[in-house]
Amino acid sequence: MKIEFFEETNFSYRRKQDLEKDLNLHWIARNMAGDKVGDIPAILQVLQHPLTTESEIEKRQQVVMAACENTSVTYRLRDRIVTLSENLTRGLHAILDSRGKHLMEQTMIGVHVETIRELVQGLSEISQMGVKNPEIFKETAFNYFYDSFCEAEPAERLEEQLALVQNLDAFKGNGEIVLEGAIGEGFSLENVEVVSVCDKAKRAGSGIFSGKKGRVIASEEVYQSGVQFANRVVLELLEQCSPFLQQWEEILQTLSRQIIFLAGCARMYERGLSAGFYFCMPKDCEEEAEKLYELALALQSMEQPIPNTVSLKEQRALIVTGANQGGKSTFLRSLGIAQVLCQAGMYVPAKKYPLYAYEDIFTHFTRREDATMNMGKFEEELKRMEQILRGAKKNTLILLNESFATTTEVTAYQIAMDLMHTCLSEAVTVWMVTHITKFAKELYGEHPENVLFLSAGRTEENEIRFQMYEKVPGDTSYGLTLYEQMIGKIN
C-alpha cells in the first residue's frame, strides 16, 4: 500500500553537509518551518535528496504549486497528519514496551484501544477534508495523494471502522463482547471472530455475572477466572491489529515528511510575497536566470538583495572575477541555492530560471581555521577537493568560492588550470569565483566553448554595484585605488 503526496528519491547529495553549510540551507529550512522548529530536519531531508530528471521535477512542481495556492488546507493537513503520526508512534511504542512486562491486562487493553481509536478517527478526519474540499483534492496535484488514500481506505470501510471504534470502551470493561469460534486441542481457541461489541453487560450482584444470553455465573472464583480468560482473549484479538497499526505508522511517517515540506514551501512562498519578493517555477524553455537574488540573505534581512541576470542553459562553466566585497560570493550562493530548490521541485528566487537537473552538486568554499582542523588550511582544501573530484562525474555541478586562496598564486594558478581542464573534458559543470587573475586570463585566451566570464561591477566613480556583467578577465586596480584613497585621507 503506497500513499504519498509525491514520489521521493533515495539518492542524496554525496557531500550534503558541505552543501547545507556553504549555501545556508539550514537557514532556509528554518524559515520554511516558521514556528514549527521541529519540522527543520524533515525539510532538510527533502532538500538533500534531489530529483535528477526534468520530468521528476515537473511532477513535483505541480504538487508544490497546489500547496502554495491552497495554504489554509495545506497547513491544516500538515497539523493533522503530523499529530496523528506522532501519536501512533507513541502508542505503538507503548504497546511494544508492554510486552513481556507484568502489567495489568486491562492497562494493556486500554493502550491498544486508544491507539486504534485515534488512528481510525484521524484517518476519517483526513478523508472528510477531501470530501469538503473536492476542488483541491480532486482537481489539483493533491489528487495523487487523495486517490491512493481513498483506494487504501474507502469511505465505506472507514465508516464501518469508525462505528466499531465508538464502542471500543467495551474492551476496557463493563461491556459485552460476543465472540464466535471453536475450542481446539488443549482448550486453545481457534478461528475466533468478534461478532459484536456493545456496552450492555453488567455485574448483577456479588458473585453474579449475567449477559444477554441469560447465563449466570454464581461462583466468584469462576467469575474471576472467566474475566481473566476473556481479557486474554480480547488482548490477543487486539494484538492482531498490530500489523495494521505498523503499516499505517510507516505510511504516516512518509506523509508527515512530505506534508511538512509542502507546508514549508507554502509558508516561505506566502511570507516572501508579503515582503515583496518574487519567485518563479523553473521552466525548460528558459535560457537564463533572470533577476536572481540570494534567498538566504533576503530572508535574513527581509529586504531583497540586488539581483543578477546570467545565461545558464548552454554554459559549461562560469568564471567570476573582480573586486573584493563586490558581491561575487553572494552571487555564487544565489545560483547554488536556486539550483538546489529547483531540484527539490520548489519555487526559486528569480523572475525566470531554466529547468535543468544535475546528477550531483558539490561545493568547495573557503573555511575559517578553527580548533577542529587537524591540518593546515591549504592541506584541508586539497583534501576536500580530492573527495569532490572522486565523486564528480558527467553532468555534475561544482561550485568553487575563492578556492586555494591560502597558497601562493603560482600554486593556485596551476591547480585551477588543471582542475578546469579536467572538468571541461569530463563534462562537469563549474561555477567559480576566483581571485587568481592569471588563471582567468589564460583560460579566456584558450577560447573554451560555453564558458562565460563575469566580473563584479563598479560604477565610473568606483562604487560597488554588487552586479555581475560579462567582461574579459584582467588585472584590476581596485586595491590600488583604495590604497590611494586611504593615503589621501591620511595626508
Domain count along the chain: 2
Structural domain including 424 reads: 279-490
pLDDT of 118 strictly over 70: yes
- C-alpha cell recorded at residue 281: 517555477
Phi-psi region for residue 422, left (φ > 0), alpha (ψ -120 to 50) or beta?
alpha
- Is 122 found in the same domain as 35? yes
Round the CA-based radius of gyration of the chain to a whole number and report it: 32
Long-range contacts of 177-185 (CB under 8 A, 24+ apart): 177/230, 177/234, 179/233
Is 186 inside a domain boundary?
A: no
Ranges of beta strands (E only) in 97-239 are 176-183, 189-198, 202-205, 208-210, 216-217
- Is 23 found in the same domain as 128? yes
- pLDDT of 365 reads 94
Q: What is the DSSP letter of 169?
A: G
- Is 453 found in the same domain as 404? yes
- C-alpha cell recorded at residue 323: 573586486
Is 189 inside a domain boundary?
A: no
Q: Find the Cα–Cα–Cα–Cα dihedral 8, 9, 14, 16, rounded to 10°.
A: 0
Chain center to CA of 174: 47
Phi-psi region for residue 128, left (φ > 0), alpha (ψ -120 to 50) or beta?
alpha
Of 223, 258, 293, the position where a domain reaches its end is 258
- C-alpha cell recorded at residue 410: 603560482
Average pLDDT over residues 49-58: 97
Confidence of residue 374 (pLDDT cuts 50, 70, 90): low
Domain harbouring 374, CATH code: 3.40.50.300
Residues 6+ positions from 126 with CB-CB distance below 8 Å: 77, 80, 81, 84, 149
- Is 313 found in the same domain as 239? no
Q: How far apart are CA 148 and CA 215, in angstroms?
A: 47
pLDDT per residue as tens digits for the range 422-481: 999 999 999 999 999 999 999 999 999 999 999 987 655 556 567 898 989 976 545 545
- Is 295 found in the same domain as 254? no
Is 183 inside a domain boundary?
A: no
Confidence of residue 34 (pLDDT cuts 50, 70, 90): very high
Is 213 inside a domain boundary?
A: no
- pLDDT of 217 reads 46
- Is 246 found in the same domain as 370? no
Lowest mean pLDDT segment, chosen from 40-54, 90-104, 312-326: 90-104
- Is 421 found in the same domain as 356? yes
Q: How far apart are CA 89 and CA 86, in angstroms?
A: 5
Is 218 inside a domain boundary?
A: no
Quote the mean pLDDT of the chain. 85
Of 86, 62, 109, the residue nearest 265 (C-alpha): 62
pLDDT of 194 strictly over 80: no
pLDDT per residue as tens digits for the range 55-84: 999 999 999 999 999 999 999 999 999 999
Angle between helices 54-69 and 242-274 (to 10 degrees): 80
Give the number of C-alpha atoms closer than 13 A to the C-alpha of residue 368, restricted to the C-beta side: 4
- Is 145 found in the same domain as 56? yes
Is 70 inside a domain boundary?
A: yes
Phi, psi of 208 (to 5 degrees): -115, 130
- pLDDT of 89 reads 95
- Is 440 found in the same domain as 389? yes
- What sign results for the dihedral spanned by CA atoms 22, 27, 30, 31? negative
Of 197, 227, 258, the position where a domain reaches its end is 258
Is 125 inside a domain boundary?
A: yes
Confidence of residue 126 (pLDDT cuts 50, 70, 90): very high
Give the number of C-alpha atoms closer than 13 A to the C-alpha of residue 413, restricted to the C-beta side: 11
- Is 370 found in the same domain as 316? yes
Task: Tell me which of 42 and 178 has the higher pLDDT.
Answer: 42
Task: Look up the pTM and report it.
Answer: 0.84
Task: Tell me which of 234 and 410 has the higher pLDDT.
Answer: 410
Q: How many CB atoms lie within 10 A of CB 397?
A: 20
Q: Give yes or no for a contact between 400 and 432, defined as CB atoms under 8 angstroms apart.
A: yes
Q: Give yes or no for a contact between 192 and 180, defined as CB atoms under 8 angstroms apart.
A: yes
- pLDDT of 103 reads 47
Q: How far apart are CA 427 and CA 394, in angstroms?
A: 5
- Is 363 found in the same domain as 245? no
pLDDT of 203 strictly over 80: no
- Is 439 found in the same domain as 310? yes
Is 202 inside a domain boundary?
A: no
464 - beta bridge partners?
458
